[in-house]
Structure 1
Amino acid sequence: MPFAHAQPCTAQGQTPATAFSLCGNTSFFQPTLPVCRNGGLFVPGCTNQNTSYGDNNPVYYTFTCKNAGTFGFTVSPADPIQDYNWMLYDITGRNPNDIFADKTLVLTGNWSGSTGNTGAAANGINFIQCRSLPVFGEKPTFTAMPLLQTGHVYVLMVSNVDYAGNFSLAVQGGTADISDDNSTPFRSSIAACSNNSITLVFNKKIKCSSIASNGSDFMLQPATASIVAARGINCTNSNETDSIVLTFSAAVTQGQYQISINTGTDGNTLVDRCNNNIASNTTIPVSISPFAVITNVQPNACNATALTLTFSKPVQCNSIAADGSDFSITGHALAQIQHVQTTCNNGYTNSVILQLQQPLNTAGNYTIVCKKGTNGNTFVDECNKETAAGTSTSFRIKPAVDASFTYSISYGCMTDTIQFTHAGGNEINYWLWLFENGSAVGASATQLFTTSGLTLARLVVDNGQCRDTAAETILLPDKLSVDFDVMDTACAGEEIFIVNRSTNATAWSWDFGNNTFSSLEKPLPVTYTAATNNRPYTITLTATKDNCTSSLSKQVYIDPYCALFMPTAFSPNDDGLNDYFGPARTTALREMQLKIFNRYGVLLFQSSAGNTSWNGRYNNLLQPMGNYVWQLSWRDPASGSVMQKKGNVWLLR
């Protein structure tokens, strides 16, 4: 299936703004979606950003962290030879589409070109794997589990060059709880023109089956009318909804009301998609107004260049002046509106974006005031009611943040402890520390380091509007390291060589386990006799530097019979290779004697103290190629008994 770079993504779940919701430790199969692409993505630490990285054929998921912890998941392709990539973003307080423009929203990801499963796991790498080609070697497909923050909202993007979807997603292995966001379920309300009904819009999906059709889940206060019916929008085509229409017994007069959520005649309150019951007696403030008002103002970023205004009810698009003259902004700094951006549906819109002439870079409280624009009116709602001039809504611009941090190091023999601290301020309520060996949250963090050399520490701070990232490269001194090489099995009486691999030590103490010792950096060879019951000898090295001491022990088994391993062939042609036949380690055997016989039983060779191997001759004459019989005897060092072994050897020419 080819790339679809030119085809924009329009299907549900294929843009950040329409992301599917994740809930708890879940596992499901993601069906195939249309091939498409939204745009390029920034991947920290990787090159060719504009050409190599983009959300090709994406599927987006969103979730909110209820309790902080690590987040683990696995993407399993239906076709195991497929290569899936993913990115995770923290979009708390942001427009989901900001992931294409704001580099600081990146939390982690993986773009390995290796096929098969991918995701975040406890044994994953502590960095984002860039794009790779399998022909140049396999690259890790799992990244270390990121740390999620309570109350923060995240977006997970999964993409593939051939398919959109066609994989299984399992949320597992982490400690974070994403089963419910613990947030206020209510978002906004829209009253009908006749004031005989109102639509409640929620921040989370509500199960349609939990809505009592007679409206008994709800109560209006003051009770100027009763609620006689409730229906979820799109419940005929789906099992869940985020909008519920309530019908009143009579038209409700203008004013401020509360709608309480209660246990209905169906025996429950509203239930969200995570099977959490919305608490009984939860109250929702609603306004029955004579015209549309601005209910929410959302800056697009730190040092905002645009403001998104949300209306209490649909507004006629043709009533909004394109030059933004329907609105003015007052506050701590002079702010001028450049123009209005409107997205309309059948001539109506629920929100507009005010593009500003200059960024709002001064923190403080601001007010948007409605006024008659160059078109001669304020904005007009779906009921043909014009909003009164002078109606205002306040909002806050938060200050810019600085992620610069300080640290102090407490040096140890094997472990260095670093205390990291951020000064806070500027309404910062989120800190994420990222280290090469882990992560932490909070204004301060303590991390242990057992390695030496350069290590990178990074901090991300956020106040809900502004975010910043800072990094420090820290040089840690070399640590005392103790190690040595020694064979794990040797013959009795054989010289054993020990290679000291320790670093940064100034003194050494060797205990060879046989009542012999050394303080040399490079110890002399040692020999062992066969131990009773084949008990191993323990070699211990203790190394010292300044006030630091560390020890390491290794065991050596002594095999009294290891010299019995005899060659099966030899070639006595005086070329210096395999010219002699005999036991490889004669010093390991006591009272050893080797005898060689031909096929007629003639004794051709018998070893002596100075001659322990046969050179293929008899009476100084070379013997013909063929099979010969050998017999080896020796005295067992443990029991004192004479032992014997026989075998065959080929003489080759």
Structure 2
Amino acid sequence: MTTVPSCAGRTMPVPGCGAGYTDVNAFWYKFTCYSTGTVGFLIQPGSSMDDYDWQLFDITNATSPDEVYTNAALVVTGNWAGTYGNTGASASGVSHIECGSIPADNKPTFSAMPTLLEGHHYLLMISHFTVTNQSGYTISFSGGTASITDPNLPHLQAGNYYCPTKTIRIKLNKEVKCASLATNGSDFTLNVPGINIVSAAGVNCNQGFDMDSLVLGLNQQLPPGNYRVTIKKGTDANTLLDYCDRDIPEGEHIDFTVDPPALVYIDSLKPLPCAPDSIQMVFTLPIDCATIAPDGSDFTVTGPSAVTVTGARANCSFNNADNTVTLYLDKRILTGGTYTVSIVTGSDGNSVATECGQYILAGNNSISFTLEQQYPATLRKVLPITCRTEKIRVVLSQPVQCNSVATNGSDFVINGPEAISITRAEFTCNGTGQFTDTIDLFFNRPVLTEGNYTVSARTGSDGNTLLTSCWQPTPVGNSTPFSTKDTVSADFTYQLFLHCELDTVALFHDGAHGVNSWAWYYDGKTDSSKQQNPVKIYSRFGTKSITLVVSNGVCTDTMEKQVVLSNVLEAAFHPVSDTLCPGVAAEFVNESIGNIVGQQWVFGNGNTSSLYTPPRQNYLVPNTRQQLYHVQLIVQSNMNCFDTATYRLFVLNSCFIAVPTGFTPNGDGRNDFLYPLNAFMMSKLDFKVYNRYGQMVYQTTSTFGKWDGKFKGEAQPPGAYAWMLTYTEKKTGQTFSEKGTSVLIR
């Protein structure tokens, strides 16, 4: 052995040595004992630094050779000494199995020669423990008394012919040396002129040293008949030799018969898709690839539609033959019905034949298949159109292949009152096969007017119309209609009818472009109308916001306008001061709005005025603390409408700031409260009232604050109460601080 195999080890039992032993890089020898006795052998490593171990097994009664890894009872002997150099079995070896060790231990590497039993079968395992090199080893058997060589003389036993490989297999009565076989086949002759043995190979000689069978290769097929193979000395100067170099006598022969090959025919077809572009035929026997015309002319396909076979192929990787032949068609079969595949004489001058030379005669064999009729996808509808249509969505009757849709939209054309060009097509692919049943077509411009259109299918720039999963093309011209709507305008007009108390706005919309829905909104409120031409009445005048939303069912528009009700009239004024001190004249500011053409002031002091800004008015000093006057302004508009505003004016008999010395909170409306008089002339007022215990019973910072004689809701007893007052005089800005007492009288 010049090399040893490199392979992982499997654990095996080694009696007396414990666990952990494996067949590292092992080579196995099998032999049989033909005469009981001892056996000796020598293993010599190619390198003195190689460590070889070995173990012998008796596998006579083993059910499987793999039992050597589990059944310790099969072990006969062995040696695992782990020492470099020679090892084996000899008369001077130890009588036990030497266990593993490091080479420095120098343990015995030879075991005693084991006794072999006649008729028993043995396995010898040689393991190369050190694998740093591949120098190999030699093994020789000597020194024992057992016979492990078959005593029978070698002879030819049987032969048979295998037509697929054009070979003759020879069976021997015993194993012979592989090296004694001439690989050019010169050890044998065949009794047929013109058919020659061109090679010879021993069975399993690529893995071992001996063989009991061999294969002779021929230069051509053997026709049916009786044949004889005779052995002779080949170019290697011998016939076949056993281990003892005993040869098979020259002239020894075997006879065999080649029967007519079995008939072959088309057995079946492999399942076909709905639109096949190839057909796979299964034959009862492998077909010789050399007899298949590559252009497919050995076959024809006939049926409802014209089909041409353009090629034929088989998997010729094994023996140049295959049971399955694939026919390639010039196009997919799209028409349903029954078709027939027939065998004819091809362009190579023959039909097809088996690997054993059995031809199928032209016209003698055919097979039929049926395809269901498939239907194309049609343009079913266009989804609802939007206003200012810039694209449409076409819905198909069934999904189509995404790669059959031209993305530039050229699979479609649109006809109608206006020229519309399709600029692109978009779609979403679903499923493993990538299909879609809706396609969006985009236009070069929006469609603004009402019209009836048709979208039709045509052959796109990709050379086809839409294709279903079964490759059915959408017919050119197949179409579906759709309609567009005009854009609409919500612009409206109105007419005003103005009056003193109520204004009327008459609203108008022309209803053009198919408008059939109106929604009016007034001042953004829910107050609305769905009439085409409603009337809105206002009781308050001024600028009003009116919004209209119109629709024709597809298009919508919104318009908002400001409507001015110009007859607003409102009398309004205010006095510079609503409280007058003695000798101070009253001034009035006119704040009236509207188209005023006249006004009339009535001051309550006997005076009137028709001026927009009236003169100052003087009032008599009253005898009582204050006198109330009602001042009135009446305004007139250009539409002869009138409005009146009235203001109360108080005239005081004194403007001195003071706190009364007493008050009577009895509810008679006279002197019921305690508070600083003329507080309207103060700012930053702070008024506090204390009882005789110094407890504050009232406080206010309002100029309108007044004490009612109660504390925490309970009426306080009569008596004197102290008060403190701080304030700033509005006119001068001077700050004052005063205090005193007042009597609560009940």
Q: TM-score, normalised by structure 1?
A: 0.36
Between 1 and 2, higher relative CO (CA 8 Å, sep ≥ 6) is seen in 1
Q: TM-score, normalised by structure 2?
A: 0.32
Larger Rg belongs to: 2
